């Protein structure tokens, strides 16, 4: 079996296009009001993760949201105080780490929920491992040269 070459621009383009569709469906399902979505992620490591800048619904000249999607849960954070995709990733890591702690304990988080309560003890460690990996990537200067 041949491994997919995500360095191939055609394959990378297809992967990014699929992630854009994924985040459009997510924003619709979550009823997130927003403006334009870019054609290309603000930052990505195919085939694992992409972070997208989403325009504000009310101020077309301002960023409203950052959305993360890929081989992990799709999620969004306000762009109000997060000026670039690296800051957005750090905010998501913090959020997911906290949520994973609750899930592992089998407790309901006060404001965020992923999955059904009966699966939290299984999903919590998975979310925690994703958050830990993303935290390492957030601190790795070598993968952020084009995204700052």
DSSP string, 48-104: TEEEEEEE-SS-TTSEEEEEEEESEEEEEEE-SS--SHHHHHHHHHHHHHHHHHHHH
Does 145 have pLDDT greater than 90?
no
23: confidence class by pLDDT, cuts 50, 70, 90: very high
Residue ranges per structural domain of the chain: 9-143
Q: What is the pLDDT of residues 75-134, one digit of tens each?
A: 999 999 999 999 999 999 999 999 999 999 999 999 888 888 889 889 999 999 999 999
Nearest CA-CA partner of 82 in 73, 74, 90: 90
Query: Which are the contacts of 28, defined by CB distance < 8 A and separation ≥ 6?
Result: none
The length of the chain in residues reads 148
pTM of the model: 0.91
* CA 50 vs CA 11, 86, 92, 118: distances in Å: 15, 11, 12, 29
Per-residue model confidence as pLDDT tens digits over 52-87: 999 999 988 899 999 999 999 999 999 999 999 999
**Is the confidence at residue 31, as pLDDT, over 90?**
yes
């Amino acid at each position: 079996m041949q491994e997919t070459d995500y360095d191939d621009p055609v394959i990378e383009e297809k992967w990014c296009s699929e992630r854009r569709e994924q985040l459009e469906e997510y924003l619709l399902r979550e009823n997130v009001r927003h403006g334009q979505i870019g054609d290309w992620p603000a930052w990505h490591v195919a085939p694992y993760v992409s972070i997208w800048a989403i325009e504000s619904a009310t101020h077309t000249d301002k960023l409203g949201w950052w959305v993360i999607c890929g081989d992990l849960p799709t999620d969004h954070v306000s762009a109000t105080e997060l000026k670039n995709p690296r800051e957005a990733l750090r905010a998501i890591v913090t959020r997911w780490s906290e949520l994973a702690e609750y899930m592992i304990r089998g407790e309901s988080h006060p404001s965020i929920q992923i999955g059904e309560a009966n699966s939290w003890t299984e999903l919590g460690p998975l979310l925690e491992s994703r958050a830990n990996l993303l935290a390492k990537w957030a601190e790795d200067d070598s993968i952020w040269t084009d995204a700052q």
